[in-house]
A = this chain, B = another copy of it.
Amino acid sequence: MAKPLNIGLVGYGFMGRTHSNAYNRVTNFFDTEYKPVLKAVCARDAEKVKGFADTWGYQSIETDWRKLVERKDIDAIDICTPNNLHHDIAIAAAANGKMILCEKPLSMNTAEGEAMCQAVESAKVLNTVWYNYRRAPAVTFAKQLVDSGRLGRIFHYRANFLQDWTISADLPQGGTALWRLDAAAAGSGVTGDLLAHCIDTAIWLNGSMQNVTAMTETFIKERQHTLTGKVEKVEIDDACAFLCRFDNGSLGLFESTRYARGHKALYTFEINGEHASIKWDLHDLHRLQWFDHKDESNLRGWRSIHVTDGDHPYMNKWWVPGLQIGYEHTFVHHVADFLEGVAKGESVSPTFRQALETQKICDAVLSSAKTGSWTNVG
């Protein structure tokens, strides 16, 4: 019989749904020692949060996260709020000895993130940040391939995350739905929202970065603010690109925007090694492109690997070869790994401390974009 792990969720937006789904499904597919129990969900609007609790099966609701983090019947706090609340909730949760699963990016900036790291480390609570794409099977498989050393010396890493949903000047900023356009709630624009994903994967696959030079742009300078009703200056970055050097001597190129017409969520990365190269694209997330220079010379070509076989990461838990899973499964995998970590008493990757490195790079990127100079990370 699985042991219960009582979850208290803060926030019920898009991420609240992906996490709740993951908690509900994980034990149908993974044989874990612990089983998540949806103990409570918390948000300010009592009526709405009640509806969410009914849909997903939460046993109770709270409207003040400070009460939630103090509840004795909660083992783990899951933070799905806008970024500007991550710090306070995490500090309080740690103080109450709760495990913490925090949405990405870790924090509004490095200073906040450092404080959060110290809090969980001194409280000795298990912690993790929801950089979910690490656990897309094809991405996890890429990690295995890189770690095997078969790519040889790495020369290049490039990634981008392209969207097109904010091109219309009529789109307002701020409020529940559009807090991602509001610097006060989000901290930054595409840098924290999208590039943070690219960076997290990059440092996982290719190691630390030394320094960056960056460029940001805000194409639509003013938008109506949902909360004030007034036309206000847009403070976030609509687009951000940067060059970097990794510790291993390879060169990096990163770009993100919400103004790339034709791309909904085109997160791609490519890594070029001496012996082999890898490419991935979120739009077709179960495919990994692999080029191996050790193949016979006239038969070399990029292989399109449909990462759905039983010997691919996580896939023996699902269906049969050829049948794909989707976006939401990355969260199920994260929960499965987290539960395994709970059984072992270990935090799973990326921990707060590991996610802080992404925060430092984001800060260096935003700083470089302002100063126009190459900027060291950290």
Contacts and interface: CB of A to CB of B under 8 A. Distances in A.
Interface hub of A21, A255, A322 (most chain B Cβ within 10 A):
A322
Contact of A301 (B25, B245, B305): B305
B241 A260 contact: no
Number of copies: 4
A297 interface: yes
A285 interface: yes
A290 interface: yes
Interface stretch (A39-47, A93-101, A264-272): A264-272
Q: How large is the interface on A (under 10, 10 to 19, 20 to 34, 35 or more residues)?
A: 35 or more
Contacts of A372: 213, 373-374
A325 B323 contact: no
A292 B309 CA distance: 16
Nearest to A145: B299
A368 B255 CA distance: 20
- Counting from the closest, the 3 A-B pairs by CB-CB distance are A265-B322, A264-B322, A262-B291
Q: Give the residue among A55, A242, A297, A319 with the most B Cβ atoms within 10 A.
A: A319
A261 B320 contact: no
A265 to B, nearest CB: 3
A224 interface: no
A263 to B, nearest CB: 8
